[in-house]
Structure 1
């Protein structure tokens, strides 16, 4: 019998650790996390947690932070003949629907996050959650798209109730289809689509949720004309994609991209996506999609392993690559807050090496670096400059994969609307919840996902932030809240972030020098090297 976690905060056992390291190394997986310390209860007269949506009444709950409505369906279950079709409007229900518990997570394999070591095989998952402060004000709205490598995660991964109250915003978190369920492209599915291009079902789910927000959020106290889409990792990458989608224009007025510019937000070429679809069909011994629709969710998950899942370029949803849309002025001209973390790569290098029980050695380091990044990168990241080979590799991986793409995205977006750049650089930040459970002394620094706990709570768990970190968390929350309200990130007594993306606001505690504007981030991350290599790859692909 497999070992499991004893509750969401229970101690991990060794078998889980091995599974965790394998999953982490396999993909850009990041359940969004977080917490802000609990704040005093709102003083306003409580409003009833009963709201009528366009599909029927929902009853939520009143908490110390406001009202919350969990597990509201925004589309019909994509099951049976609706598997691999665009989302359909949800059917009305009679009476009052209880909205006091999260809906099921979309189909996904076992996760490395404690409490979710079991897979989900439920396709009836297109739900969202609404967190609304007390009061009758028409509040700006943030719609959060979760991370998880587009193969895992759920809207419930963050609990933004304190964030909503402090910032005076309404927050919506969304489930969307993942993996093969969300991103399969085949010639059969192309023929079924209206534009000849399949494979964007998860992205279309996100837009369906945004349309639900436009139609219903006013009844929860939100302003449908002031919607910001936001996300971290795969959620941030989703924001990049939605910015470039002509079918998403008018559904939001601003975007927040946290660690989401990896791969320069590129979508899969249609031909390559359909070729992968043929591989997927063959794995299930199917000749057509009709056969696939008879396969179980368990069989789908087994067949999707090791394949790449994500948006597909071409067709009405995404006619051209996001980078081309930005350059041509075809992308949404809205304000964007975009950034990355100083030590993004440490999470992934740890999982691959130390977390897997095989720390990278000095002897292996040159060969690994040459194979992955080339001789020029090895010269720029000499082992003598780092405390360990794993941290040296992690620095290169984070610079190449996250920091420099984020800075390139700033440049690409600056021509079509205001862009505000940040870097989360609190190297004393506690590892996020899943990593704390590993009980390791590895120095994660300001790694991937670590900033999210400064904004929200993770499954209701408080992060062990010290007094200075709590102060930084409040400052970051104020910047995010100001951006959601007004399209310009500000915090009292803190530096203003200039539009244009050339100066980066670096978030640090007061003991580390506080929040400062910098023009040195590009050089600190060796982006001259990585930008040149990225240009060489682009020429090879497009030339």
Structure 2
């Protein structure tokens, strides 16, 4: 194992590190504030220059670290380029900008984000530990590849309890990260077009390999984890040649089993997007696109959404789903799982949240349209009278269908690599922070993203857990931390988590404690006999 000495200069002010007075530059500081206590603003040396972070009693953080050059002007829709080096000490106590995205219901996203200078990451480490070569946990945020940022996740409780170095990253989103047109293909002979966001993630992982030793992390012990779109991106990194060797195990939460876009489909959608902006095919299209403002890009994206990796390119030669089905996706250890009511959140967002709850007739129409060869069977299995509303009924249908497809994903993974599987099934309040703020009585259950609050805090909010839920949270943090340390999630004083074999046992999380349950139990709870017939996994 490669050993690197920690270069954390705790208690040394920036002024002591840089004696000479330097020209004023954005992000650079001459020294710590006069009111600082000793050790509050430690300085770390990276390949690009010195960084000044902030030490608190439990966690030391370094925020807003550039891992690539700002993708602006001529670098918009280009592969990420190296960040510029700096002289002096760069302030790393504030987050960098989030990437371009529209509004959302998460706190802080009430207005569009129009910042293109966004390729930043954040590093967190335990303050008190003297250990070197700590395990490294890199978080690939979710948000449908059109929203979210590294700053959304506060990993303090995870970092302090598990002694890990935790990294959160930004990557380009929506059209900025995933646009593919013929002109952009010609403009990017490195085949970056359509996969700019995927390449951003690889650039961040390369930064980790080069620099994480300076923060006490072990570059030979990196876990790449993601949720939802972040899980899909992590699966893409497992399949991408450029991701090899940059991490050593993976966690896929509520995602990772879907197909990537084909070049033809991405190109067709991309040309429609470009036409919406008035940028016709040909030699001038790339320049025309780069002349549009972020607001214009977002407006066109509402009509022609651009998101998700493109397979069949040099960046991603093979579709991760195809590799998964062939047993060739990865040999790295993997934790994979989801929530028991995955789709209730998105269904609520599409109907009740907009003030347009489904009617019984609309529900029947959705079932008939979505499952033309099994509509009567679906209606029989999910009678609307058994649920609070037609919207909740549709959420249950969609959740169960997804759960059964996820079971197939787990079986495919476990057939060829060390795999541990789980289902998060804690259905009692509190829901995820964004939903919690809505103060609605919609019965979300254990819906998409609800598991995240049990591992780390989100958007600056610690959820009001019951004592039993705190116990469950502690177990989950311990399992995730153990996997990051040694590639096996098992810990003392917690239920055993058996390595999964196809059709074997899984770990189900519900307060106060996880428990092992057979695959058949989860199949039964989600009507998988029906869904394997009506809507089998691709």
The yes-or-no answer on 1:423 pairing with 2:423 is yes
2:433 aligns to what?
Answer: 433
Q: Single out whichever of 405-414 and 68-77 deviates more from structure 2.
A: 405-414
Taking the aligned partners of 2:117 and 2:433, their CA distance within structure 1 comes to 28
- Check the 8 A contact 1:494/1:515 in 2, yes or no: no
Alpha-carbon distance, 1:286 to partner: 0.9
Alpha-carbon distance, 1:532 to partner: 4.1
1:211 aligns to what?
Answer: 206
Alpha-carbon distance, 1:47 to partner: 8.6
Alpha-carbon distance, 1:124 to partner: 0.5
Alpha-carbon distance, 1:46 to partner: 6.3
1:24 aligns to what?
Answer: none
Taking the aligned partners of 2:455 and 2:109, their CA distance within structure 1 comes to 22
Q: 2:224 aligns with which of 210, 229, 235?
A: 229
Taking the aligned partners of 1:441 and 1:234, their CA distance within structure 2 comes to 27
1:18 aligns to what?
Answer: none
2:495 aligns to what?
Answer: 495
Alpha-carbon distance, 1:74 to partner: 0.2
1:92 aligns to what?
Answer: 85
Alpha-carbon distance, 1:534 to partner: 4.8
Kindly indicate whether structure 1 or structure 2 has the higher relative contact order, using CA contacts under 8 Å at least 6 residues apart: 1
Q: 2:507 aligns with which of 505, 508, 520?
A: 505
2:187 aligns to what?
Answer: 192
1:41 aligns to what?
Answer: none
2:337 aligns to what?
Answer: 339
Taking the aligned partners of 1:47 and 1:414, their CA distance within structure 2 comes to 46
Taking the aligned partners of 1:94 and 1:531, their CA distance within structure 2 comes to 60
What runs of 5+ residues in structure 2 fail to find an aligned partner? 1-37
Taking the aligned partners of 2:412 and 2:91, their CA distance within structure 1 comes to 44
1:369 aligns to what?
Answer: 367
Taking the aligned partners of 2:494 and 2:152, their CA distance within structure 1 comes to 29
- Check the 8 A contact 2:136/2:167 in 1, yes or no: yes
Local SS of the residue matching 1:243: helix
Q: Write the mapping of 1:38-77 to structure 2, written as runs, cut at 5 A.
A: 49-77=42-70
Q: Single out whichever of 283-292 and 215-224 deviates more from structure 2.
A: 283-292
Q: Write the mapping of 1:441-520 to structure 2, written as runs, cut at 5 A.
A: 441-501=441-501, 502-510=504-512, 514-519=514-519, 520=521
2:156 aligns to what?
Answer: 161
- 1:164-191, Cα deviation, whole Å (9 max, x unpaired): 1101111000000000000000111212
What runs of 5+ residues in structure 1 fail to find an aligned partner? 1-44, 539-543
1:178 aligns to what?
Answer: 173
TM-score between the two structures when normalised by the length of structure 2:
0.87
Taking the aligned partners of 1:534 and 1:475, their CA distance within structure 2 comes to 34
The yes-or-no answer on 1:324 pairing with 2:322 is yes
2:34 aligns to what?
Answer: none
- Check the 8 A contact 2:251/2:334 in 1, yes or no: yes
Q: 2:116 aligns with which of 108, 113, 123?
A: 123
Taking the aligned partners of 1:270 and 1:477, their CA distance within structure 2 comes to 39
CA separation of 1:278/1:421 partners in 2, compared to 1, >3 Å: closer, same or farther? same
- 1:257-310, Cα deviation, whole Å (9 max, x unpaired): 11113xx32111100101111101110111211110111111111111133411
Larger radius of gyration: 2
- Check the 8 A contact 1:130/1:172 in 2, yes or no: yes
Alpha-carbon distance, 1:48 to partner: 6.0
- Check the 8 A contact 2:347/2:394 in 1, yes or no: yes
Taking the aligned partners of 2:179 and 2:421, their CA distance within structure 1 comes to 34
Taking the aligned partners of 1:359 and 1:50, their CA distance within structure 2 comes to 53
Taking the aligned partners of 2:264 and 2:327, their CA distance within structure 1 comes to 25
Number of residue pairs matched? 488
1:258 aligns to what?
Answer: 253
- Check the 8 A contact 1:145/1:235 in 2, yes or no: yes
- Check the 8 A contact 1:370/1:377 in 2, yes or no: no
Alpha-carbon distance, 1:504 to partner: 1.4
Taking the aligned partners of 1:64 and 1:283, their CA distance within structure 2 comes to 52
2:288 aligns to what?
Answer: 291
1:391 aligns to what?
Answer: 392
Taking the aligned partners of 1:505 and 1:163, their CA distance within structure 2 comes to 20
Taking the aligned partners of 2:102 and 2:511, their CA distance within structure 1 comes to 37
1:350 aligns to what?
Answer: 348
Q: Single out whichever of 515-524 and 484-493 deviates more from structure 2.
A: 515-524
CA separation of 1:514/1:225 partners in 2, compared to 1, >3 Å: closer, same or farther? closer
CA separation of 1:378/1:430 partners in 2, compared to 1, >3 Å: closer, same or farther? same
Alpha-carbon distance, 1:484 to partner: 0.6
2:5 aligns to what?
Answer: none
- Check the 8 A contact 1:195/1:315 in 2, yes or no: no
Q: Single out whichever of 143-152 and 455-464 deviates more from structure 2.
A: 455-464
Q: 1:246 aligns with which of 238, 241, 244?
A: 241
Taking the aligned partners of 1:331 and 1:440, their CA distance within structure 2 comes to 41
2:308 aligns to what?
Answer: 310
